Chains A and B, each alone.
Chain A
């Protein structure tokens, strides 16, 4: 029986696991979190039941159905609190070339006739960042990566103050804790995601004093709909209650396009922000600045796909930094599939369709099979969604005008913009590795997850660096304790095949 390992239990991963099971594969579905659903269906833990939790979510019934089905299925092992920290080539049969591809007949043109994945996935199972997690090494026949994306927040003066959050943080706290990040909250950045965040905040008792979309109406209209206000329709996806809250308060929440939070103020916490109007390239327009009191600011300018695992698996990455996939969601590496936001920021519908296709093909099916024709159609119709988001909301270069020399770019290593530039100028270095080691930007504990793309841009590397290095490559995909490493199971030991019994 084909063994399929699905990494990530958000919409794409859940759909992949179900489709692989439907095709008869034995499935292991794992996620670093202790609950299924990913960031999209981030929810209250079982210790905190709520009669109407569904009201906070879009598609909650579907999620519950998927979860129930997988948890009840003896052919699917659900492994939560499971952190993948490394993927390495399996060299038991010597079939793997230096680039991670199969040497003998691994022709990816034949989607569906997939060769076995030649990889070992190393997992630690236990409390988040615990010291005594249980090591597992899994050698699947096929691997589906559905690791999702996280907020990308551009730096601005004061963004390191407590009280400044990513929009995703506000959403996670609202849905997963029923905690509102503040009482007077400003939401800012770019993208349709800002609206559901504002709605969730409102549904959690916060007062949203403004939503600021950096892009101007013309650009939004070009990418979306004739009337940018129709964007409010996106709120429909925020869940019944959030949608209700939004509708209830929308007339009191200014939704401003072409404006941004360009600074946060306060000594030890945020007390106010400066809002400014932006030109079409996101350059603040002088004279438009105004100060707004707030005790929390939620800012996101888009999403960054979580690429460390695809890169560790050897998957080819596109020039705009997503995983390359074929019609069956197959990556450039035999037996490895990708679905969801790591193949393009396409939203939940795309993730569900791609996940189903990936799971089906990973389990030995073909993208032309009748049982996934619906998903293949959905996949096609959602394909241009990512392009529309990028066209409407993508980051424009003028934002650097709101940086000061002492604005931190790398939060972990506290590298300010001025020093970053001065060091780059002093060394004249053309390699990202050298630039990181001389500036220290991206070397801290988050390993450039927050600042990486920004550092690359500010150092002039939008077209790539001379050394071919990218901040997305993290062979250690999550921190691991030295003692855990010392006890790591050697690849391909018998326990590497460990899994629960399948029918």
Chain B
């Protein structure tokens, strides 16, 4: 007796997929090598952003996700009751600022293109920006307010999605690592071999984030997902003085860059616990998870350019994680064209928390053979922009 779907990975993408698939009435098992939210999900800030995305398919996905989050949060709260910790969903909005004269014009121009794509992107004056964030540095040159940006506690959200999936009949098995594929006589995937034995499933959804590269190879259909390291600093609790998700315009450049070398940009926000999260960095160093002081130094220095008052803030913790990086900067969502029965839900880089719900919706619709609310084709593993990278890997 097997499952309809095996989801590999209990990060937020796997959790959202499991919930959506279980809600379809499918028999779902989630296989997680370590523990839920122990990888990329637990190392992020919980960004639900439209502000950092230019017009294109990823923005469409983000807009769909932004529409799904409030209802999902309410449904999870109803379903799981008051004993379950709050997911700390906060539609606090984002404020993107330029700190140089040269940075001002591109910021406004970018917002203009986003507005044309339906994003609520409000170019505001410096005075208005200071009214929204009174502790912002005086020297900013431009600002755009994005009321649609929001934040969630990603680990609680993942656990809530998994708990909901379980209530719909899904099984969540942690400490189980996928070691290979099970195929039928026609070569179609019929399940996975794991450290806990063989698990039969009609379909396999691979949501292993930055570890997808390795797991997809084990399954025989490699996907070129690479880890991109990031670090976040956490201050001690302090009086509430950062009200939105505030970042400098460099952030967009860093997310879209393909450079492997260290890049930092400033992202600052408060949490429900009263701490302030200070990010962010991007570098491609494999899965090396050791803390680097130089990374912290750059992140700290840039944060002070946005919020000088943070100079005396105490940093009590730093954590790092690995974003699932795609060479063509788009998540991979959909059926693998090389291995029948394998589906991908990965490659969201630093946007997986926000995009998880919309990703799960696409996966569920695809597996159920239903039309999806947005066009899934740009995310297909078969897309043209990915083809050279797949070919390169094959060679």
Direct contact of A and B (CB under 8 A): yes
The B interface is mostly helix, strand or loop, or mixed, namely mixed
A445-B236, A447-B316 are known contacts. Are A434 and B38 too (CB-CB below 8 A)? yes
A467-B35, A467-B38, A476-B316 are known contacts. Are A482 and B235 too (CB-CB below 8 A)? yes
A89-B290, A485-B233 are known contacts. Are A466 and B315 too (CB-CB below 8 A)? no
Chain A residues, Cβ within 8 Å of B273: 413, 440, 443
A437-B155, A438-B156, A482-B300 are known contacts. Are A430 and B175 too (CB-CB below 8 A)? yes
Q: Is the CB of B155 within 8 A of A480?
A: no
Chain B residues, Cβ within 8 Å of A443: 273, 317
Q: Is the CB of B293 within 8 A of A488?
A: yes
Q: Is the CB of B313 within 8 A of A481?
A: yes
- A401 at the B interface (CB under 8 A): no
C-beta contact mask, A355-377 vs B, less than 8 Å → 1, else 0?
00000000000000000000000
Q: Is the CB of B42 within 8 A of A433?
A: yes
Chain B residues, Cβ within 8 Å of A89: 290
A426-B83, A475-B291, A491-B293 are known contacts. Are A481 and B34 too (CB-CB below 8 A)? no
C-beta contact mask, B290-312 vs A, less than 8 Å → 1, else 0?
11111011001101100000111
Nearest B-chain residue to A423, judged by Cβ: B85
Chain B residues, Cβ within 8 Å of A155: none
- A431 at the B interface (CB under 8 A): yes
Q: Is the CB of A431 within 8 A of B278?
A: no
Give the contacts of A467-500 with B (CB-CB under 8 A): 467-469, 474-476, 479-483, 485-488, 490-491
Across the interface, B311 reaches (CB within 8 A) one of A86, A98, A100, A481, namely A481
A465-B35, A479-B315, A482-B235 are known contacts. Are A426 and B84 too (CB-CB below 8 A)? yes
- A439 at the B interface (CB under 8 A): yes
A474 and B235 alpha carbons, distance in the complex (Å): 14
Q: Is the CB of A426 within 8 A of B290?
A: no
A86-B291, A488-B297 are known contacts. Are A426 and B80 too (CB-CB below 8 A)? yes
The A interface is mostly helix, strand or loop, or mixed, namely loop
- Number of A residues, CB within 8 Å of B: 51
C-beta contact mask, A440-459 vs B, less than 8 Å → 1, else 0?
10011101000000000000
- A2 at the B interface (CB under 8 A): no
Chain A residues, Cβ within 8 Å of B175: 430, 466
- A283 at the B interface (CB under 8 A): no
Chain B residues, Cβ within 8 Å of A487: 297
A445 and B174 alpha carbons, distance in the complex (Å): 30
- A131 at the B interface (CB under 8 A): yes
A381 and B217 alpha carbons, distance in the complex (Å): 54
Q: Is the CB of B296 within 8 A of A488?
A: yes
A429-B36, A431-B174, A434-B38 are known contacts. Are A475 and B315 too (CB-CB below 8 A)? no
- A422 at the B interface (CB under 8 A): yes
- A428 at the B interface (CB under 8 A): yes
A431-B36, A438-B156, A483-B304 are known contacts. Are A490 and B297 too (CB-CB below 8 A)? yes
Nearest A-chain residue to B84, judged by Cβ: A426
Residue in A434, A480, A482 with the greatest tally of chain B CB atoms within 10 Å: A482
Nearest B-chain residue to A439, judged by Cβ: B85
Residue in A131, A432, A481 with the greatest tally of chain B CB atoms within 10 Å: A481
Q: Is the CB of B85 within 8 A of A482?
A: no
A407 and B183 alpha carbons, distance in the complex (Å): 54
A98 and B292 alpha carbons, distance in the complex (Å): 13
Q: Is the CB of B236 within 8 A of A479?
A: yes
Nearest B-chain residue to A312, judged by Cβ: B291
- B31 at the A interface (CB under 8 A): no
- A289 at the B interface (CB under 8 A): no
Q: Is the CB of B314 within 8 A of A427?
A: no
Q: Is the CB of A482 within 8 A of B310?
A: yes
Q: Is the CB of A466 within 8 A of B174?
A: yes
Q: Is the CB of B155 within 8 A of A428?
A: no
Chain B residues, Cβ within 8 Å of A429: 35-37, 159
A86-B293, A445-B237, A486-B300 are known contacts. Are A430 and B315 too (CB-CB below 8 A)? no
- B318 at the A interface (CB under 8 A): yes
- A122 at the B interface (CB under 8 A): yes
Across the interface, A434 reaches (CB within 8 A) one of B155, B237, B278, B311, namely B155
A486 and B301 alpha carbons, distance in the complex (Å): 4
Across the interface, B315 reaches (CB within 8 A) one of A422, A433, A481, namely A481
List 9 A-B pairs, Cβ < 8 Å: A131-B311, A413-B273, A429-B159, A437-B156, A440-B273, A443-B317, A445-B316, A481-B312, A485-B233
The 4 A-B residue pairs with the shortest CB-CB distance in the complex, in nearest-first order: A431-B35, A483-B311, A467-B38, A485-B300
